[in-house]
Amino acid sequence: MSAPKALVLCGDGINCDLETAHALQLAGFAAERMHNSDLLAAPERMSQYKLLALPGGFSFGDEIASGKVLALKLKDKLKHALYDFSAHGNLVIGICNGFQILVQLGLLPDSTANAPRSVSLCHNSSGRFMNKWVSLDVSAKPGPFFSGMTRLDLPVRHGEGRLAVAEDASASTREQVKKSAPLRYSKDINGSFDKIAALTNASSNVLGLMPHPEAFVRWNQHPSHGSGVSVVEGDTLAAPVEIGAPPGLQILLNAAAMIK
């Protein structure tokens, strides 16, 4: 059986595409990078792939708002193609800036065409960019991307990672956003609503997350590797039990297992 094909978007300030493609290769995908302009010129090319990855970075220098300019660029020609891609059961994963783009496009937490937008990713409550490792808790019913996982460490690198719900959102909408969160920060790091670090759609095939799974695909990437305990910006991270795949790689292995 041939490896499932994964498309990794690149260009215009995206700077984690190489790491993301490498991580997907390790997880068993045949990963290919494509400049967003080439995809915009031929959206039908997405039909060749089983997974679309929108990596982290600073697309268009985060002008206006993180992910906003690239989302506007994609919206005209690619938004409906993305709806069709996910509606056919294919996987979409947006990491950091990619998560911001999916939210700007209105593909999370509801990937239904023309669904009202209910969330935004805003400036961290500190007002500062953060680059650190954090501990995260997996929800009781996380969906297949986080199957078999309960708690993990991953790095975050963002200035606008605070998930906010629309001020006029109803109580039921807020509750639905909570139910759409497979991953939460173990402690509040940026003021994110309900400490949410990731969202999935109702079909669990579209995932957006602020932490970077592609940055933890080898055990020796963890800051406490070989030392027992690591203190990172005041947070103590216990040394992980190095059994099986590192958490970042496991998320992508779970993605590969989702493909039929």
Q: Give first-to-last CA distance, the chain, whole Å.
A: 11
Catalytic residue among 16, 158, 160, 212: 212
Catalytic residue among 19, 96, 160, 222: 96
pTM, whole model, 2 decimals? Answer: 0.91
Catalytic residue among 122, 158, 214, 222: 214
pLDDT, tens digit (0-9, with 9 covering 90-100), for 118-136: 899 999 999 999 999 999 9
- Look at 172 and 228; give whichever has higher pLDDT: 172
Show the domain range for 248. 5-258
Question: What pLDDT is recorded for position 114?
Answer: 74
pLDDT, tens digit (0-9, with 9 covering 90-100), for 15-70: 899 999 999 999 999 999 999 889 988 989 999 999 999 999 765 444 544 456 66
- Look at 233 and 126; give whichever has higher pLDDT: 126
Number of C-beta neighbours around residue 65 at 10 A: 15
The arithmetic mean of pLDDT across residues 153-171, rounded, is: 93
- Annotation says 214 is catalytic: yes
Do residues 136 and 186 lie in contact, with contact meaning Cβ atoms separated by under 8 Å? yes
Beta bridge partners of 230: 237
The fraction of the chain above a pLDDT of 70, given in percent, is 88
Question: What pLDDT is recorded for position 61?
Answer: 46
Q: How many domains does the chain have?
A: 1
The arithmetic mean of pLDDT across residues 175-196, rounded, is: 96
CATH number of the domain within which 30 lies: 3.40.50.880
Q: Tell me the C-alpha distance between 145 and 52, whole Å.
A: 14
